[in-house]
Chain A
Amino acid sequence: MNSIDTQLLLKLNSMVGKNPVVDVLVQLLVNEYFVPVSLSLVLLFMWFGAKELENLRWKLGAINAAIGVGIANIIVATSNIFYFRDRPFMHLDVNLLFYRPTDSSFPSNAAAVAMALAISISLHEKRLAPLVLPLAASIGIARVMAGVHYPSDVLAGWIVGVSAAFIALLITNFLRPFIERLILAAKNLGLA
């Protein structure tokens, strides 16, 4: 398993450093700005851009995503307390297209957060799934290509993200009356 993980990492990582276009694309996707900001903008669009019939569903989706991100962060932080995995660049001969993070490699926090956002959005609006799911997947793949994560870290991050989104869905449904009132309060203030 470890060998497959390493081989896959080296294969993906060998794609960088050859073509400047690929390098720029990976550096755009791997950083902490592009994918998180883009997914957050989708949430903002859901909050303010919903038409009459989809209004409540989209707003619940945005709240579901926010709760999902919180849960994903808690799971990753808890996992880091019990298990620390070195980054691939510490042991392997990889091309590095990113700064050297010092926290645990497993699971990938960026992949978990992006997937929690994308799944939460997709659960409430299927039409946005083709936009957000590839975007969320791309940050994980780019992190392996850039040499800062093993593929298993990203896979674990995706599992954490999907689980967090479904846990957040349960919480959102449980708190629905409270959330509906808050939405009405925000609407009165012009914030919804």
Chain B
Amino acid sequence: MSFLFHEITWQYFLLTFFSCLGILQLAAVRAGRKYLQLFSSKPANIFLGLACVLISYVLFFTQASYAIKSIKGIVLHPKFYPPMSPFYQCPWPRLEGAQLFGVFLFSALLSVIFCLFINLIRHSNKEQILSLASSRISQAYEEIKLAISPRTYKKESNYRGS
């Protein structure tokens, strides 16, 4: 878990969190999902979405700690390298594939929760939030029980629309 303390992990987390937030806004506007939109006006959500994606991309790929050492056009010739060693390490910090996937998934989930949380606070009082959350959780639990139930597989499809 030491990768969590690396600077690049946090930079990558910020890239993925803000770009996911931006994409969520664009997706929510397209699909008409009001519960994910941070503003009530469509143009504001589209602007926020595009700004989040563009700014996080530009900042990460020009300023992040991986970029400082790699984007400046290092064109090296192999004769300058020492012989390949089993102890060779990448000269700048990097994340492994599984770590990249894990951080992305966490950021995506966090951005969805963030949008849901903002909308719940904006549109409901405490009682409404609690009752809505408990009914939604119990419905979700029923669906998961059905998903793992053998009865589900006797029918061609159980999908009830969007």
CA distance A49 to B31 in the complex (A): 5
- A183 near B: Cβ within 8 Å? yes
Number of A-B residue pairs with CB-CB distance less than 8 Å in the complex they form: 153
Candidate in B78, B84, B152 with the most chain A CB atoms within 10 angstroms: B78
- A31 near B: Cβ within 8 Å? yes
- A189 near B: Cβ within 8 Å? yes
**For A52, what are the chain B residues with a Cβ–Cβ distance below 8 Å?**
161-162
**For A33, what are the chain B residues with a Cβ–Cβ distance below 8 Å?**
12, 15, 60-61, 66, 100
CA distance A189 to B140 in the complex (A): 7
Q: What secondary structure prevails in chain B residues at the interface with A?
A: helix
CB-CB under 8 A for A28 and B71, given A48-B33, A48-B36, A180-B157: yes
We find that the number of chain A residues with CB closer than 8 angstroms to chain B is 55
Q: What string of 1s and 0s marks CB contacts (under 8 Å) between B66-103 and chain A?
A: 10001101111110010010101011101101001000
CA distance A183 to B24 in the complex (A): 17
CB-CB under 8 A for A37 and B159, given A50-B31, A100-B81, A190-B112: no
Are A188 and B23 within 8 A (Cβ)? no
Closest CB in chain A relative to B21 CB, distance in Å: 10
Are B97 and A32 within 8 A (Cβ)? yes
Interface residues of A in 130-148 (CB under 8 A from B): none
Interface residues of B in 20-79 (CB under 8 A from A): 20, 23-24, 26-28, 30-33, 35-36, 53, 60-61, 66, 70-71, 73-78
Candidate in A33, A47, A188 with the most chain B CB atoms within 10 angstroms: A33
Q: What string of 1s and 0s marks CB contacts (under 8 Å) between A36-76 and chain B?
A: 11001100110111111001100000000000000001000
CB-CB under 8 A for A49 and B95, given A95-B75, A189-B137: no
- The residue that A188 contacts in the complex, of B32, B35, B139, with Cβ under 8 A, is B139
Are A177 and B157 within 8 A (Cβ)? yes
CB-CB under 8 A for A100 and B144, given A23-B75, A34-B61, A89-B78: no
CB-CB under 8 A for A48 and B27, given A33-B15, A95-B76, A182-B147: yes
Candidate in B75, B86, B92, B144 with the most chain A CB atoms within 10 angstroms: B75
Are B24 and A44 within 8 A (Cβ)? yes
Closest CB in chain B relative to A87 CB, distance in Å: 9
- A185 near B: Cβ within 8 Å? yes
In the complex, besides A31-B70, A180-B158, A181-B158, 14 extra interface pairs with C-beta distance below 8 angstroms are A23-B73, A31-B66, A37-B104, A41-B20, A44-B108, A48-B28, A50-B162, A93-B78, A96-B78, A97-B73, A177-B153, A182-B143, A184-B159, A186-B140
